[in-house]
Amino acid sequence: MFGHDISSLEKTLGYSFRNKKILREALTHRSFYHENPDKADAYNERLEFLGDSVLGFVVVEYLFLYDSQLAESVMAKAKSYLVKEAILSEIAGTLFLGKYLRLGKGEEATGGRMKKSLLADAIEAVLGAVYLDGGYGRARELILRLFKERIDTILGSGKFHDFKTELQEMTQFLFNTFPEYRTTKQEGEEHKKIFTVEVYIGGEKFGTGVAKSKKEAETLAAQEALDEIGQ
């Protein structure tokens, strides 16, 4: 059964492994390894570490070649945005990676196949596995196929700034405190809610955001707060 799953995943990846054992390792969570020592020789954390480095290098290389005028600070922010858990788990979702994971009973019972952290780790492990099995060229080819559209989109729109992190760093530096986000209003039906979030610094309101999710509303509030501080 697992062999069939591997074949299906390989078709989705557009890459056929010479050593299937490496892909199997990339899909094995430590919980499965510890519960099934007779069925797993290793788990995916080493491959995840390798894949993280390969992914980072490919992204930075692409950014460097994309535009000779891109400043180091812009490349750093773009890379940080592209390799964060939310983006990685989204890409893992497009590959339906969750259904291929080998998980222990505890992780399985608590929805491990849908956990963003596990999915993000798994996609990095798979990229590390492709690098080991097929070399840098094949890993780069896969990474760009998965990430290029996102890279081009954020570079074109400039929407790669992590406003919440930037605000936190600024408020800590300027005011020796952290921003506080307060959800002040929720409107609409359950599946069509609109959230209003205000951000406070030292008890004073600096920004407001309104969006379809709390996270997006917080981001908009942080962006407004940064503008306010800048003025």
Q: Are residues 112 and 210 in the same domain?
A: no
pLDDT at position 160 is 66
CA distances 145 to 61, 69, 138, 164, 172, Å, are 15, 24, 11, 29, 38
Cα separation, 34 vs 37, whole angstroms: 6
Domain count, the chain: 2
Cα separation, 173 vs 167, whole angstroms: 10
pLDDT at position 122 is 96
Q: Are residues 22 and 93 in the same domain?
A: yes
Which of 37-46, 119-128, 206-215 is most confident? 119-128
Backbone angles phi, psi at 85, to 5 degrees: -55, -40
Q: Are residues 130 and 183 in the same domain?
A: no
Task: Return the CATH number at 57.
Answer: 1.10.1520.10
Interval 159-198: pLDDT, tens: 666 788 889 988 998 889 999 999 999 988 776 788 999 9
Cα separation, 65 vs 210, whole angstroms: 37
What global pTM score does this model have?
A: 0.70
Q: Which residues are catalytic?
A: 52, 124
Q: Are residues 138 and 194 in the same domain?
A: no
Q: Are residues 133 and 176 in the same domain?
A: no
Q: Which residues pair with 198 in a beta bridge?
A: 182, 208
Q: Which domain range does residue 219 map to?
A: 163-230
Q: Which residue, 126, 157, 188, sits at the end of a domain?
A: 157
Q: Which residue, 122, 157, 192, sits at the end of a domain?
A: 157
Q: Which residue, 102, 128, 157, sits at the end of a domain?
A: 157
Interval 85-125: pLDDT, tens: 888 999 999 999 999 999 999 888 888 899 888 999 999 99
* 81: CB partners within 8 A, 6+ apart: 87, 154, 160, 161, 162
Q: Are residues 204 and 140 in the same domain?
A: no
Decide which of 106 and 139 is more confident.
139
Query: Which of the 8 DSSP states describes residue 163?
Result: H
Residue 3: pLDDT band (50, 70, 90) is: very low
| Encoded amino acid at 166, one letter | E
Decide which of 66 and 198 is more confident.
198
Task: Return the CATH number at 190.
Answer: 3.30.160.20
Cα separation, 129 vs 224, whole angstroms: 42
* 27: CB partners within 8 A, 6+ apart: 9, 44, 97, 100, 101, 102, 122, 125, 126
Q: Are residues 66 and 173 in the same domain?
A: no
Q: Are residues 127 and 22 in the same domain?
A: yes
Q: Are residues 152 and 170 in the same domain?
A: no
Cα separation, 99 vs 145, whole angstroms: 21
| Percent of the chain predicted with pLDDT > 70 | 96
